Chains A and B, each alone.
Chain A
Amino acid sequence: DIQMTQSPSFLSASLGNSITITCHASQNIKGWLAWYQQKSGNAPELLIYKASSLQSGVPSRFSGSGSGTDYIFTISNLQPEDIATYYCQHYQSFPYTFGAGTKLELK
Chain B
Amino acid sequence: QVQLTESGPGLVHPSETLSLTCTVSGFSLTGYSVYWVRQPSGKGLEWMGRMRYNGDTSYNSALKSRLSISRDTSKNQVFLKMNSLQTDDTGTYYCTREGNPFDYWGQGVMVTVSS
Residues of B close to A50: CB separation below 8 A: 100
B108 interface residue per 8 A CB criterion: yes
A34–B100 CB distance below 8 A: yes
Contacts A/B (CB < 8 Å), 19 sampled: A34-B101, A36-B102, A43-B94, A43-B96, A43-B106, A44-B45, A45-B105, A46-B103, A87-B45, A89-B101, A89-B102, A95-B47, A95-B60, A96-B47, A97-B47, A98-B44, A98-B47, A99-B44, A100-B44
Task: Identify which of residues 32-81 in chain A touch chain B, using a CB-to-CB cut-off of 8 Å.
Answer: 32, 34, 36, 38, 42-46, 49-50, 53, 55
Give B69-111 as 1s and 0s: 1 = Cβ < 8 Å from A's Cβ atoms.
0000000000000000000000000101000111101111000
B16 interface residue per 8 A CB criterion: no
Assembled-state Cα–Cα distance A36/B101 (Å):
11
B58 interface residue per 8 A CB criterion: yes
Assembled-state Cα–Cα distance A49/B108 (Å):
22
A-B contact count (CB 8 A): 51
Q: Chain B interface residue count: which class?
A: 10 to 19
How far is the CB of B107 from the nearest CB of chain A, in Å?
A: 6
10 A-B pairs closest in CB distance? A91-B101, A49-B100, A43-B105, A98-B45, A101-B44, A100-B44, A96-B101, A43-B108, A46-B103, A43-B94
Number of interface residues of A (CB under 8 A): 25
Residues of A close to B101: CB separation below 8 A: 32, 34, 49, 89, 91, 96
> B58's contact among A49, A55, A94, by CB below 8 Å, is which?
A94
For residue B106, which residue of chain A has the nearest CB? A43
How far is the CB of A99 from the nearest CB of chain B, in Å?
A: 8
Residues of A close to B58: CB separation below 8 A: 94-95
